[in-house]
Structures are given as structure tokens and as C-alpha cells.
Structure 1
């Protein structure tokens, strides 16, 4: 998972350095202590224990896979500490000790499905890495499909880090679905899309809608392989706003002109800003004070305005469907007219009743 996780650390570093340069938080300079979860949930839990109990940190920012988050959750609840989890995920969870600043299901997966339906897609093939986020995401996709008259032509999973997709891609090609719904993550994406292209499948013949392909992954896979494919996120480097132009320029100045920004990086960066704003409203670094002050905290982030829902600790997000360009950047082809309120348990969707994480 390093291709996706290491760049998130860079975004958090940028936020902390900017906050310190502008005077810190409540007059205090922030000290960043970093630990490597090594793509292994048990190690994430061990490192969280260290950060909380040995380093006595004010808050933790990190985690990527849902498996890592679920491994850390009891650590934070037992210690009554705070984790800011900045990645999109499958929903169906809420904890007073976690702030979820990435998209939940109704801010990423459902907009992707709505878009495909509007484009006339009547059948899907589901593919994912074999852990909780892809499996739960696809359970939601299947429930949506049943309620909306979309046929599921097949469903396959592969272990994290897998590089052999020949059998799966052959099955996808033989199934003849209108589109592929892709929740493969990390290094496996390179092998999947190379096999996909080598098999003769194209965005024109069978487009892939990906939940985990951002600008950093496009660089790893290759724009020539991905051009024309679709993604569902809340942020792209190409978002046209003064806040984002400054974020991109600052990031490139700090880490290199050849670097790109992506949704997981932006939501991790925004998480630090939300924590700062909440601490300043509370006038305190204490966890109970932050929990009490969180509702309604809003920052004008690079993706747009983001507000904390105090009841479920998720945030409002603007949904964006993007298409990969030949230059390796992702360009919005649709976006929600306003930020979408988080609905992690899909209470507003009767067809989702009975789905569990």
C-alpha cells in the first residue's frame, strides 16, 4: 500500500508546517511523530498504542485500508484518544473517537453508480482486493443494482499485492458487462490495468469505474494505460478554485514540481485543518472538549467547503466523477451541485437495509 500511503504522510507534513509557520495552534508549535504501519493492520494497532501511550500525542492522523482502521478503532476507544481517518471507505461505522474526513458510501459509491446508470449502463462486473472495503462496497453495489435493474455479470476478489489478473480479466471480457466496478487497491492496480489493456478491453468497449485510482496511482500505472477510464472521488488536482491552486502550488514547492496531489492526500491535509479549527473553537486540546466542539466546524478546503457532522463524525463532501486524461491528471465530467451530507449507515436508502460492514 506504500504507493497510496506514503504520499498521505507528505500532505500531513505540509499541513503541519503551514500551521506552525502561521503561529501554531493555541500558541503552541506542533511536533509531528511519524510511524510506519507497513500495510499491516496489526502493526497499525501497535503503532497507535505507542503514539497514544508513549508519545502522548494530541491526535493521530493516518490509516489507509479499512482493515487498518478497524484494527486501530478499539485502541482509540479504549484510550479515549482521537484518530483522524482521511480515506474514503465503505461506511457502516461511526465512533466518537474517529473523525472520518474521506468519503462515505453516499458521497462516492452511490454517485458513481448513479452516473453509470445515467450513462445507460445496465450490467456490471465487480472486481476488488480481498478485504473489508471492497467486499462491503460491492455488497452495497449489488443491493443498488437489484433496486435499479442493473445486472451483475460477475464478482471476483484478489489478495492484496496480487499481480496475476489474467484469469479475472478473461472472465470480465467473456462476461460482456457494460462496465466494470473496480475496488482493487495499491500495487495490484498496475497489474490489473496492464492486463486489462493487453486483453484488448478499452474505455470505449468496457469502461472501468474505479474507487481507488487517484493521480498518484495514475502515475504508477501509466497515463497511456489509463487514459479515458473513470474514477469517483471528491477531489482532483484539476479542481478549479483559488484554495486548490494554492494547495497544489504549495505542495509542489515543498515536495517537487513533478509531484501530483490526489483525493486521499487532500482529505488528510484537510483533516489537520479541521482538527486545528476544532481545537481553537474548544480552546483546548482535550479529547472531550474537541468532541463537544466538533459539530458544524467548517473549513474552506481545496475540494471545497467541508463541515463536520457532530452526530456521526463524518464530513460533508462534494462528489465528483472524473475521467483520466492523457496527461495523467483526472478531469471532472460530473459533480454534485452542493456538498453531500454524510449518511454512513445509508439510512436514506431503503434498498440498503440489512447490509453490514
Structure 2
């Protein structure tokens, strides 16, 4: 009815009707479109959340400088959940019910995602999860842009085994991501004829790893695979180097570099030679990325973030959502979801990104890179890698009402 009314006003030119409607039209044109940013700005994962928030705000600025959306400016509604699940729940509810945001970008850990995802699903608020994770989310209300193990772990494990050997020791964070990713590591090691000699898990606040380093020395693996997360776990890499182990046993990581600032918190002596695999590194060589990094530096000249997959995917999320709003001609969730479900391909800093209609995860280029003097140097690239793990358990085309996180059976 509102569309036909606007059409009527445009075509009739009736002065009386126009005069009555104009205050409503003027207010609609001046109201902002609110978008939510829910990133850890303090707490255990602030070194990851702060760059995500910086790029989130840059994306809003760029959208507004390009004319906004639907004749309106975009306004960021930002909360700091402080790596606290109770605050995640509280702020997600506020965003959906009080702030009435059109979309939310947020969450870092799987625990935070699974705290807020059901809230946004219940209150019909579109949600973008932009973090690399363990795979398995099947929810048409969520768009997932970060990489999954089938895109990254499946690449880096055989690559490392060809370089170093077949005996692997895994250390990981003690929550969903660490446990499930470690299971994928074991699967891919065994598929390539190797053996995981041990796996250890550590809570996010653990910062001392002397006994574990001694156990690794005794086990004599060909390399260590780390799925450690957060600032406390950086102590593992520091203590590993201090024990003289870095030059004895190589290391790969499924996490280091995901947040951006972690690699610059390690000295070259502590970090050089570590391999990681993600869907984005600053070293990606294309014109879109070069221009993007220049804009990031111009926006934050004194506190320039190191852009990682997680922060770059936050930028992707805003741009993909904005494109869908323009095409839909509306911020209505279902109208925007219908555009996203078409499976469009976008040229973004990371390369070509396609939304897989079956899972609403990203099909994207994946890279293996080596940490060298606090920068990642790309060693291999794997174009257009699909999220095969999540495709095993999720089909939103057949079941568009799905709302579940599958712990994929290995």
C-alpha cells in the first residue's frame, strides 16, 4: 500500500494530499538506517574486535559518502560485549528490540555466535558472522563470510606435511572452535597418511605453557599445529621461541593472523616461519585490495589496523548487505535475504566472493602464507574454494527455515 501511495503522490500532484503527506515523507528521508556492530572492544579478544570495529565504521562512512542507501544515511549502533556472553545476549536483544537495527555484524568466538544467533533469528534481525570458524551453521537468517576447515585446514595440513613430515602435535583453545577444528586436523592428517601424536586444549585465559612445551619436546613431532586463540595464548609462541624450539620443530596455525594484530605482537624472532591459511591477507595482490588498504590507512593514519580475514570479511559483510538493500529497494529482512540467496559474486579486497545459496557461506579464494618479519607472505593460492564441510549438513534451498549449528560428525 505504501508503494501505491507514493506512486499516487508522484503522478497526481494533488496539492492537498501532498501537503498532508510531506511531513511524513520528510521524516522518512531524514531517518537513518541503523546497523549493529557487536565486537569485543575490551576483554580477552579485544585485539581482534578493535580492527573489526574500525573497518565496520569505515564501511559505513564509505556507504554514506556514496549517497547512503535509499536516500538515507547509515548509522552504526555499536556495543562492546567485552568477551562476556551475558553482555552479548543483552546487547543482541537491545539491538533487535530497542534499536531496531536492519542488520548486525558481530561475534568472534563460536560461543558468542551461538549466544546471539538464536536471538537474531527469533527477532528476525539479519545477522552476518564474519569470522573464520569450525563450520556447520545452517540458518537462512545468518550470512557467514569467514572460512571453514574445508577451505583452510584441508589446504594447510597436506602442504605442511609435504614440507615437514607426518607426525603432528596439536594445541588448541578449549571451546567449540578448538575442539572441532582439532578433529578436522586429525582427519586431514590421517587422510594424508600421517598421525596426530597428541592434542591438548587450553582455556582462553591460560598463559603458561612450560609443561606442554616439555611434552612436545618429548613427543618429537614433525610439526606443531596451533589452534590457540586470543592474547593470553600468544604466550605459547613466545615461550616456544624462548625455549629454543622454534628452530627445531616447525609450526603452523589455523588462527594466527586471523585477528590481524596478533602477528605484530610477536617479534620476528618469535613469529618468523609460522604458516597460516585464510581467505584474506593484506598481501593479496589485486587493485581492489590495494585501494582498500589505502583507504584504511587514510582513515586511521595513527592507529592503522593490520587487516585480517576477520576484519576484511566485516567490510565484505557491510558491502554485500548494502548491495542487497539497493537491489531490493528496501531494508526489509526478507527482501534483502531474497537478493542474497541469489548467490551473487562480488569483487572484493580478498578477491572474488560468491554467496553459496545452499549454505549462505562464502565461496572464496584461500591462501597459505608464511609469517616473515611481522607480515604474511603468500606462498600458495586456491581459487574459489567452497565450504564443503558445511555443504555436507546444510541445504537452505531444501529447508529454508533451518536454524541449527551442526557439529559435523567426523
TM-score over 0.5 for the pair: yes
Is residue 145 of structure 1 aligned with residue 196 of structure 2? no
Contact 1:182 1:210 in 2 (8 A): yes
How many residue pairs are counted as aligned between the two chains? 350
Q: 2:285 aligns with which of 229, 240, 264?
A: 240
Q: 1:319 aligns with which of 361, 366, 369?
A: 366
2:15 — aligned with what?
none
The offset of 1:222, in angstroms, is: 2.5
Q: What does residue 80 of structure 1 align with?
A: 124
Residue matched to 2:345: 298
CA shift, 1:7, in A, is 1.0
Deviation by residue 1:87-112 (Cα, 9 ceiling, x = unmatched): 10000221111110111221111111
Aligned counterpart, 2:52: 8
> Aligned partners of 1:264, 1:226: CA distance in 2, in Å?
20
1:213 and 2:256 correspond? yes
Q: Deviations over 1:255-281 (max 9, x none)?
A: 125622221111111111111111122
Deviations 1:169-201 (CA, angstroms, capped at 9, x unpaired): 111122111111111011123211111101111
Distance in structure 2 (CA, Å) of the matches to 1:289 and 1:311: 18
In the superposition, relative to structure 1, how do residues 99 and 13 fare at CA in structure 2: closer, same or farther (>3 Å)?
A: same
Q: 2: CA distance between counterparts of 1:199 and 1:163?
A: 15
Matches of 1:354 and 1:128, distance apart in 2: 17
The match for 2:356 is 309
Distance 1:355 1:224 in 2: 37
Distance of 2:125 and 2:139 partners within structure 1 = 11
Name the structure 1 match of 2:115. 71
Are the structure 2 counterparts of residues 106 and 166 from structure 1 closer, same or farther at C-alpha, using a change threshold of 3 Å? same
Distance 1:12 1:340 in 2: 25
1:274 matched to 2:320 = yes
Is the Cα contact below 8 Å between 2:136 and 2:407 reproduced in 1?
Answer: no
SS of 2:128's partner is strand
- 2:216 equivalent to 1:172: yes
1:345 matched to 2:387? The reply is: no
- Separation in 2, partners of 1:33, 1:22: 20
Q: Structure 1 length as normaliser, TM-score? A: 0.93
> Which residue matches 1:25?
69
Structure 1: runs of 5+ lacking an equivalent: none
TM superposition shift of 1:69: 0.3
Is 1:107 aligned to residue 154 of structure 2? Answer: no
**Other structure's SS at 2:88 match:** helix
1:220-245: per-residue Cα shift (whole Å, max 9, x none)?
22233101111111111111111111
Distance (Å, rounded) in 2 between the aligned partners of 1:330 and 1:187: 19
1:93 and 1:344 in contact (8 A); partners too: no
Q: Does 1:192 align with 2:236?
A: yes
Contact 1:273-1:299 at 8 Å conserved across structures: no
Q: Distance in 2 between matches of 1:52 and 1:344?
A: 30
Kindly tell me: are residues 347 and 114 of structure 1, through their superposed partners in 2, closer, same or farther at Cα, counting changes over 3 Å?
farther
| Change in CA separation of 1:346 and 1:166 when aligned onto 2, cut-off 3 Å | farther
Counterpart residue number, 2:21? none
| CA distance in 2 between partners of 1:341 and 1:190 (Å) | 30
Write the deviation string for residues 151-177 of structure 1: whole angstroms up to 9, x where unpaired.
Answer: 111111111121111111111122111
CA distance in 1, matches of 2:350, 2:233: 25
Structure with the larger strand share: 2
Higher RCO (Cα < 8 Å, 6 or more apart): 1
Cα separation, 1, equivalents of 2:230 and 2:291: 28
Alpha-carbon contact 1:49-1:75 (below 8 Å) kept: yes
For each residue in 1:316-339, what CA deviation from the matched residue of structure 2 results, as whole angstroms up to 9, or x when unmatched? 11111110112x110101111x21
Displacement of 1:142 after TM fit?
1.5
Which residues in structure 2 correspond to 1:27-66 (within 5 Å)? 27-66=71-110
Find the residue that maps to 2:365 and give its secondary structure: coil
Q: Does 1:288 align with 2:334?
A: yes
